[in-house]
Amino acid sequence: MSEACRVLVVDDDPMVREAYRMFLSRHQDHVVVGEARNGREAVEAYDQLLPDVVLMDLQMPEMSGVDATREICRRHPEACVVALTTFGTQEYIVSALRAGASGYLMKDCGGAALLSGIQQAVAGDMPLAPGVRRELVTDLIAGHIRGPVDSETTNSLAPREKELLVWLGQGMTNAQIATKMFISEGSVKQYLSHIGDKLGLKSRTQILVRAIQLGLIDPSLMTTTSNR
């Protein structure tokens, strides 16, 4: 039997934290190892607990969820932080993803979607609430996320790495990319790691955004892709 996924729940509402704890306690493959009331506590708790995934509220006192996500990812580049919020505007979505969030879910997503999102994030995929991918792409096209086109960086990517980015841009999971490229999921993760090293990035989301900026992903394909 595999080890349970260790979850850190971050929310300023104690009733919300308790609800997540009770829900996850009914699933033996998930365990809440800690809670935090604000971003500052979240950073400290992550340092101590090193959970597999963080469920991060965004609007909190003392330190916001976005700032906490940024600090956690700075200290722990391998961190898996999923924004879990009631806010679905471009400002919040882009801020969270740019801070390094591995996914973005709404609090009313339902239990099955929450469990699926946790599993996707831990597996290296990027769970996004319905509509979030379109919001992100719209913001990219509008120019709110900017970055210079570096031909040297683009040329440093191998053909197979560029192929992987195309599938990534279409919202495919690691398993789906592996099937398309006739490789293992482990190889997909290795490719992503190598791409991240070349681009100087850590998270899947940051790689996705940078690939769009470099013209390696066609944003128009992303807008028609269903979320997984």
Asked, colleague to colleague, whether 5-127 and 149-222 share their fold, the answer is: no
Extents of the domains making up the chain: 5-127, 149-222
Distance separating alpha carbons of residues 94 and 104, to the nearest angstrom: 10
Q: Is the four-CA dihedral 38, 79, 200, 221 of positive or negative sign?
A: negative
Reading the chain (228 residues) residue by residue, the pLDDT tens digits are 368 999 999 999 999 999 999 999 999 899 999 999 999 999 999 999 999 999 999 999 999 999 999 999 989 988 999 999 999 888 888 889 888 898 899 999 989 999 999 998 988 778 888 877 766 666 665 565 555 556 777 889 999 999 999 998 887 888 899 999 999 999 999 999 999 888 887 777 778 878 887 888 876 666 444 344
Beta carbons of 222 and 171 less than 8 angstroms apart: yes
Candidates 187, 207, 31; CA nearest to 118 is 31
In 76-203, which residue ranges form alpha helices assigned H by DSSP? 90-99, 111-122, 132-142, 151-156, 159-169, 174-181, 185-199
CATH of domain 5-127: 3.40.50.2300
Beta carbons of 111 and 19 less than 8 angstroms apart: no
Distances in Å between the Cα of 86 and the Cα atoms of 89, 106, 133, 141, 205 are: 9, 6, 16, 24, 20
Burial of 215 (0-12, 13-18, 19+ CB in 10 A): exposed
Residue 128: per-residue pLDDT: 86
**Gyration radius of the chain's alpha carbons:** 17
The one-letter code for the residue type at 146 is R
Candidate CATH numbers 1.25.40.80, 1.10.10.10, 3.40.190.10, 1.10.490.130; the one for domain 149-222: 1.10.10.10
Residue 224: per-residue pLDDT: 40
Q: What is the pTM of this model?
A: 0.74
Which residues partner with 8 through β-bridges?
34, 54
